[in-house]
Structure formats: C-alpha cells, structure tokens
Amino acid sequence: MLQPTYPYYLANVAEQPNADLEVTDKYTGEVATRVALADANAIDAGIAAAVGATDAMRRFTPYQRQAVLEHCVTRFRERYDELAMALCIEAGKPIKDSRGEVTRLIDTFKIAAEEAVRIDGEVFNLEISPRAKGYRGFTRRVPIGPCSFISPFNFPLNLAAHKVAPGIAAGCPFVLKPASRTPIGALIIGEILAETDLPKGAFSILPAHRDGADLFTTDDRLKLLSFTGSPAVGWDLKARAGKKKVVLELGGNAAVIVDADQREHLDHVISRLIFGAFYQSGQSCIGVQRILVQADLYDEVRDRLVAATKKLVAGDPKDENTFIGPMIDEKEARRLDDWIQEAVAAGAKVLCGGKRNGAMLEATVLENVAPDEKVNCMEAFGPVVTVQPYETFDEAIRLVNASEFGLQAGLFSNDIHKAMRAWDELEVGGVLINEVSSFRVDNMPYGGVKDSGLGREGIRYAIEDMTEVRLLVIRDR
C-alpha cells in the first residue's frame, strides 16, 4: 500500500515542506496519500541546482551513468509489487496492466544503461577539394545541459522513464514535473535515484499544479523542454518556451485498417483490436480510436468486435479479472460521455456500451459516426472506438490521413504491396503491420507528425535530442 505522505526531491534530496497535494484512489475517489507540492521558489531552486550540476554531469563518466541506471533496474525489480500497486491506485490502471508498465519501466532503464556507454561520434573526410587537403574532421555528442521534463498521468512510470533515463545516459541534469494526479511513481524513482552517487543537483522531481509551473517552460536556463500530454497544452508550451529545444509527444486518434484478406486471421485481429481500443480504459495517445474495415469483411468484424467488447470485465482495478478500470476522473468520463451523446444525436449508433457511472465509462463501440463528430476527429482518450467500412485501399488511406493527428497507425493485411504503400503514404510517425497502433517497444523511435507533436522518443533517439554535435577539425602540418 501507499505511504501516508511522500516528499518531493529537490537537488537529489527528499524534502517534505508540506503535504498539500492530495492523491486519490481513482476507483474509490478517496484520498490515498498526500504529497509535497512544489511552489515557484522550489522550482526555481531545482533549476538553479541543475544549472550548477551541469559541469559535474558532463564529467560524470559513461560507466558511472550506466551504474546509476543499472542500480535503478535492480531496485525497480526489488520494488516491483510496490510500484505496480501504487500505479494501480493512483492511476486506476488494472493491476495486470500496472505490472506490465513496471516491466516497461525496467526495460526502459535497461536500454538506457546500454546506450549510456555507446554515445559515439564519427570521423569523416574533409578533403572534398584541393583547399581542404590535409584536414581531418571528427564529431562527438555532448550533453545539451539542464533539461525540463513534464510527464502525463496515463503512463506515470514509463513516460517519466522515457525522459529521466535518457537524460541520465546523456549526462544532462534535469527537473521533472510529474502529473499532479499521478506523482507517486515518479517520486519512487526519485527515492531510488537518491540512493546513487549522481552529482549534487543532478535531478529534482517536483509535483506542481499546472498553473504554478511556468518556470518548467519559460526559464531560459533550461536548454531543452520535453513534454508529453495534450496537444493544446503542448503547442502552447512550445510557443512560450523561448530559445530552448522542444520535444513534444502529444495526442492522436489512431486508425487501424483491416484488409479483406484477414478472414482467416480474425481471432488474432479481434483480440488485438480489443486490446488496442480498451487497454487501460482507452487512455493512451496511440490507442485504437478508428477501425476501418474493408466492406466485404465489415459485418463480421463489427459483430465479433461487439461480442468481444461485451465480455470485458469492468470494475475495481485491483481485481485480477478487471480489464476496464475508471478513467482518470469523473470530469474526463463526463466529457467523453457527452461526445458519445453528441455523436448519437447526429446519427451514430451505439453497438454496445455507452453508459457512465461516475468515472467508470463502459467500453463503447459506435458506427455511422459523422467525420466531424468529436469522438471521431478529436482525441477521445477513453474506452470508445468507432467502426466504419471502406471499399478501396485508396479510400482507407484517405480516411486515415483525414485527421489533424499523425502518431501511429495499424494495418492488418497479407499484401506486402499494401504494407509498403501504407508506410509510404500514411501521414504518421509509425506504421504497424498486422498489429494495432497502440503497440510500442521502448527502444523504437516513437513520436508523431502534424498535431501529434515533434521529435522522437525511444532511448537512442531521445539521447540525440539531449545532446549536441561538437565538431573538431585538425589540419596536418
């Protein structure tokens, strides 16, 4: 279970100046614990400490960074059950999914430990013309400097890890603002980092309300802002970030295409669509929101999808059998419920689900949804999926691309030519063949285009953003 209170971490040190931030059990709604809440002075001190640690982190050798990351892996394994239950309580994530996220946390730090000792440069030829005869070129990657990380509520462990772990591997001091609704996992990471010999000031983990956290974005002492969250907030932060580099991992309304040649594989297709649409109550930016099925197969896919959805167990996320837990709060559930009702009023049909009780929203399948309905064209971020038929593959490509978002997309097809065409033409950051859009492995380049963001995560790719290329030129005498 959770501790009664949790400190924040300022310049590597646990501090408990207050217990002003209440963290609720998302299923019961009761206060589960209280957390120290950072004010502007604490955030300013954390940034100052990161600036002061810049040289020490730059000199902190790759093998020392690797040792820190390996220590974290060991301790995460030792505290596996504690981390999973904390996540289950603070995020309302079903316990099986919570354990899966702890596994991914471990994977992410393992990858970062490996990458920490292979941040390489290159030797390249400068003798491209007579005037450059005798010149040699070399590059290396150096830490960009103090970084600001802002992580979201839906994957409070692993999405924080995708900032913290590459930051340590790259040699960058940082300040992290975890989501105020789900700060516990990040604070446990901080507790474990505090056990290491990271230089003084190398990290601060400071829960703060959004309206009191402008320094994470606007302070010019910070050289990079990495934000994961909603598009509206992300693009606003970019506009106010000043000269610093900005990496944005934002939202989506991901589509999956089911080709007519999948009739013999429908057991697999349906199971993956169910996972992609309703995993952790649909609160994933790459969750399946739009399912496009070739017309010849549409009725069968729709009917089987609905039958499988009706079998999902909803309830207490601490129950091993639960697949659908609560949304993050009742306000979000009410918002998505309103979107469903708006779509129905405009002619959509509820095939199953569609009812809400507090923060619990039933897994819902809709058809005949107009293109301009919010549940279709905006990010639903909840347990709702739309299904519609298409005639030609050209039409399917067009429907996927008819979105302001472009994070990931899936295609179930046996046709390699369609697979390659999808890779060529879909306006997304990643195309997954015979898999749903919500699949992610933690070393792959991950990110989107259009309103879904800019830059890429996945440890090696994040390290590239957190480092700069420094050139050396030597002239032979």
β-sheet bridge partners, residue 366:
350, 386
| Active-site residue identified among 72, 88, 147, 285 | 285
Burial label, 56 (beta-carbon count in 10 A; 0-12, 13-18, 19+): middle
d(CA 463, CA 221): 19
Active site residue 249: yes
| Active-site residue identified among 90, 101, 249, 457 | 249
Spell out the residues 6+ positions from residue 254 whose beta carbon is closer than 8 angstroms to its own. Answer: 276, 286, 287, 288, 289, 290, 405, 407, 408, 409, 410, 437, 438
Q: Give me the active site residues, please.
A: 249, 285
